[in-house]
Structure 1
Amino acid sequence: MSGLELILAGAAPDTGNLGVSALCYSTVANILKQREDAHISILGHGSHKKTEQFTVNGNQTCDVVAAKHTRRFYDPSAFINIRYSIKLGPLASKTAKMFRNANALLDISGGDSFTDLYGKRRFEAIVLPKIIALENNIPLVLLPQTYGPFVEGGEPRAVAKDLIRRSRLAYARDQYSFEYMKEMLGEDFNPQVHKQGVDVAFLLPAASKEQVDAKGLTPSREPSTEVFGINVSGLIYNDPENAKTQYGIKVDYHALLKTFIEHVLSQSAGDVWLVPHVHAPYGHYESDLFACEKLRSHFSESQQQRIKVVNGDYDQCEIKGVIGQCDWFTGTRMHSTVGSLSQAVPTAAIAYSGKTRGVFATAGQEAMVFDARQETTENLLEQLIGSWALRSQTKEELERDIPLLKQRAHRQFEEIVSSISQ
């Protein structure tokens, strides 16, 4: 059996978003566990002059190859350059030859970006790798992701429908997205191709306690002290006005988190860990660390002794290792909560899009998704407190259900590898 040449798109490990990095690592690691002979090239955002390395499973490496949507058509890493260079035979660029020699293109669209919500240019960036694959008879596998929403009757919806229809396999990562895909395809729906799957990040390995402690990532704690983790989204916390207009946030996110933490501190002897899940320059509106430290600064000096900010140079596996030490967790970045759910940590999500509800439903925890677009601040506070109070019961549910969910995720990769090995 000769080695597979694979391309992974829509999961660049160089975005600073550890949720996307989790999708990347989980996909690559699980493909290589089944096909050690596979060579996987990951599409990233770097320079065409340098190929980076991405390591999984301890010692297996993949190339991170620059390929991006840019108007600089002369740049060998531009999708438009790749698209036309691939037709030049021996004169094709190195990246174009990589596409031409691929046995399959695996595409996960960042998990939630296969939609027209973010404008024409973002949509083009998401679909171009898929289009290049199909134009050159490269099998396209759409990994578990959210589909849509799309404007009814719009061109992006028609393009998306055609790409999904022509894929070798296409997985939705939850029941709601699966039904959306099914409705969009209509008579073109094929149950042998179009399937309901599981978010691949449920299989992301967590760094051990010893590993994260050795890097100084774990805040100090007494062994018997409970820890309650909170992921604070910089996207929502640092620019609340934009959060209202762009995402329809109704709750006062600042007041919600502050009041909830005050409740936890007064009703328990536990510590609160504030957990960033997106790296961005400090002070940038996307920076979770900046948001966490701003939130902590609003508490008294004595309260701050029990509120710790997780800080340091950590990757997706290391932050998952930190999250796994929590006794309860809530997050606004969805993949921070997948990191906790997948370790059977009782979890609540403060959601601002529909994707979270479906992913939690796959784990039997849909009732623990609280929508910041629909609830008042007071109602969402009550829901968080209720989830926190139910943590022992939720722990039992997760310890029963998560192993079964992971089995589904493993079978999903077996099916993918079988399909692209044909």
Structure 2
Amino acid sequence: MSTPRITIIGSALSGNKGAAAMLESAVQTLTERLGDVEFTLLSMYPEEDRAQNPYPHLEVLAADPRTLGVTINVLALAHRLLPPLRPLLRRHPAIRALAGSDVLLDQGGITFTDGREKFLLYNVASILPALDLRVPVFKCAQAVGPFRNPINRVVSKVFLPRAHTLVTRGRITHEHAEGLGLTNLVAGADYAFSLAMDGTEEQALREAGVDLGFFEDGDVVGVCPSVVLQKKVDARNDDYEGQMVAFIERLRRHGKKVLLVPHSVRTGTGKTHNNDLPLCTRIQERLQPGEDLLFVDRELGSQQLRHLIGRCDLFVASRFHAMVSSLAMAVPTLVIGWSHKYREVLEMFELEEWAFGHDQLDPGYLWTRFEQLDERRDEVQAKLDAHLPEVRERSLQQADLIATLVRERSAARR
């Protein structure tokens, strides 16, 4: 029997560590279920991802926006329309990988949603080559909708029904998708909740120069800013960076130690796409130095980052997957978000009250909500402990579904 092949798009190893957690969760869980599997990652940052790739059975191929949108999509369409040319077209590594795959996993975190129409073409381009090559598209747990914008609604009604499976990441997404008339739905949880730790994280953090003694005494509050949120706050002529500086200093005046940690980092560049490090560096530079402040100024692996977040007593997140990591480590968390994707995950823990939108962010409101979280941390902790096993099980369910699909495809070829 031939070795199963799975192609993945929409995630990465470098940059956004939420994307890395989703990708690594897929590799871990599907290898456990299927044994030997050949994975291919269609990567927006192929050089960075190759440099960080620890998996000998994961091939990284270039799929930056131009390569994906033009080259891969055109060749996939030609493969569909011109059968005599298929041997020639399969010389392109991405076409060869896709055409030989049992399934394409689309791990885009939020797709086909109002307000993000500039990403709509990428959302389509990510799955269209697989559709042209007759490869099932499995959209891993993600947020979609709402679909009130006419352009988004029309495009979504054309392409989302063509996916084999769409795993919704929470109640709100599921209701949006049902409202569009979709029937290929599975209610799930973010794939990153399945990420397994291997026990080497603490040693790796020490080797990276992270002072783990920082967590040995005193209340530690993790703070994870986001350049995405900064752009939204600053667009209304407010000062997100200044608010984060003021909040951290207020925490310290009240006897809290602060871990300042970016959850999305691209080293060697000042570009801010998928990169919170420049923002966090500016925040750190405006803070008073002291032993009650620990700043992570480098890119860490997704497991190392999760272990670090798990050392905190409380956490304040703006990056979505920083929130997932803190919830997965059962750390009481306050969330400043920008879409329904935050609230619907917190709903699974009966903790949706601990999310608020960027439009509500001001120094007084942020501090009030944090004080409330601090006062009610035992209540929040109890809900995390009670619901986390169920959420992890919902996350793992998609691995079972993917493995079943791959086995069915393999059996059909025999």
For this structure pair, what is the TM-score category when the shorter chain's length is used for normalisation? 0.7 to 0.9
Paired residue for 2:36?
37
Once the two structures are superposed, what CA deviation does each residue of 1:105-129 show, in whole Å capped at 9, x if it has no partner? 11122x0133363445x32222123
| Alignment partner of 1:184 is 2:180 | yes
C-alpha displacement of 1:47: 6.2
| Alignment partner of 1:334 is 2:325 | no
Identity rate, percent: 23
Do the aligned partners of residues 282 and 128 (structure 1) sit closer, same or farther apart at CA in structure 2, a change above 3 Å counting?
A: closer
Do the aligned partners of residues 72 and 213 (structure 1) sit closer, same or farther apart at CA in structure 2, a change above 3 Å counting?
A: closer
| Alignment partner of 1:112 is 2:98 | no
Paired residue for 1:228?
221
- Aligned counterpart in structure 2 of residue 292 of structure 1, from 269, 280, 303: 280
Do the aligned partners of residues 54 and 28 (structure 1) sit closer, same or farther apart at CA in structure 2, a change above 3 Å counting?
A: farther
Paired residue for 1:127?
124
Paired residue for 1:322?
308
Once the two structures are superposed, what CA deviation does each residue of 1:277-307 show, in whole Å capped at 9, x if it has no partner? 1114565445423322322333334xx3311
- Aligned counterpart in structure 1 of residue 136 of structure 2, from 127, 135, 139: 139
Paired residue for 1:258?
245
SS of corresponding position for 2:360: coil
CA distance in 2, matches of 1:357, 1:296: 29
SS of corresponding position for 1:395: helix
SS of corresponding position for 2:278: helix
| Alignment partner of 1:311 is 2:310 | no
| Alignment partner of 1:267 is 2:266 | no
Once the two structures are superposed, what CA deviation does each residue of 1:69-103 show, in whole Å capped at 9, x if it has no partner? 31799x8x543334325642211123212222221
Once the two structures are superposed, what CA deviation does each residue of 1:179-232 show, in whole Å capped at 9, x if it has no partner? 0011012xxx32xx3121101111123453233223223454262233211002
> TM-score w.r.t. structure 1 length?
0.85
Once the two structures are superposed, what CA deviation does each residue of 1:343-362 show, in whole Å capped at 9, x if it has no partner? 11111111122211112212
CA distance in 2, matches of 1:353, 1:89: 42
SS of corresponding position for 2:121: helix
Do the aligned partners of residues 71 and 285 (structure 1) sit closer, same or farther apart at CA in structure 2, a change above 3 Å counting?
A: closer
Once the two structures are superposed, what CA deviation does each residue of 1:216-269 show, in whole Å capped at 9, x if it has no partner? 2345426223321100223444x5xx6443xxx68653454334323322333x
The code of the aligned residue for 1:28 comes to V
Do the aligned partners of residues 250 and 161 (structure 1) sit closer, same or farther apart at CA in structure 2, a change above 3 Å counting?
A: farther
Paired residue for 2:397?
411
- Tell me if structure 2 keeps the 8 A contact 1:337–1:347: yes
- Tell me if structure 2 keeps the 8 A contact 1:370–1:380: no
The code of the aligned residue for 1:264 comes to L
Do the aligned partners of residues 46 and 378 (structure 1) sit closer, same or farther apart at CA in structure 2, a change above 3 Å counting?
A: closer
CA distance in 2, matches of 1:39, 1:45: 19
Do the aligned partners of residues 135 and 320 (structure 1) sit closer, same or farther apart at CA in structure 2, a change above 3 Å counting?
A: same
CA distance in 1, matches of 2:49, 2:215: 44
Q: Which runs of 5+ in 1 are unaligned?
A: none
CA distance in 2, matches of 1:408, 1:339: 16
CA distance in 2, matches of 1:284, 1:97: 32
CA distance in 2, matches of 1:278, 1:260: 21
The code of the aligned residue for 2:78 comes to Y
The code of the aligned residue for 2:227 comes to G
Tell me which of the two structures has the higher relative contact order, counting C-alpha pairs closer than 8 angstroms and 6 or more residues apart. 2
- Tell me if structure 2 keeps the 8 A contact 1:260–1:384: no
The code of the aligned residue for 2:170 comes to D
> TM-score w.r.t. structure 2 length?
0.86
CA distance in 1, matches of 2:387, 2:280: 31
- The structure with the largest helix share of the pair is 2
Paired residue for 1:148?
145
The code of the aligned residue for 1:389 comes to E
| Alignment partner of 1:402 is 2:360 | no
Once the two structures are superposed, what CA deviation does each residue of 1:114-152 show, in whole Å capped at 9, x if it has no partner? 3363445x3222212322222222111111111134453
- Give the 5 Å matches for 1:208-247: 208-218=201-211, 220-221=213-214, 223-237=216-230, 243-245=233-235
CA distance in 2, matches of 1:135, 1:197: 27
- Tell me if structure 1 keeps the 8 A contact 2:12–2:49: no
The code of the aligned residue for 1:89 comes to R
**How much is the aligned-residue C-alpha RMSD, in angstroms?**
2.8
Which one is further off, 259-268 or 332-341? 259-268
The code of the aligned residue for 1:352 comes to W
- Tell me if structure 2 keeps the 8 A contact 1:72–1:78: yes
SS of corresponding position for 2:277: helix
SS of corresponding position for 1:221: helix
CA distance in 2, matches of 1:51, 1:274: 25
CA distance in 1, matches of 2:246, 2:68: 49
C-alpha displacement of 1:9: 1.4
CA distance in 1, matches of 2:361, 2:93: 51
Do the aligned partners of residues 202 and 306 (structure 1) sit closer, same or farther apart at CA in structure 2, a change above 3 Å counting?
A: same
SS of corresponding position for 1:217: coil
Q: Which runs of 5+ in 2 are unaligned?
A: 409-414
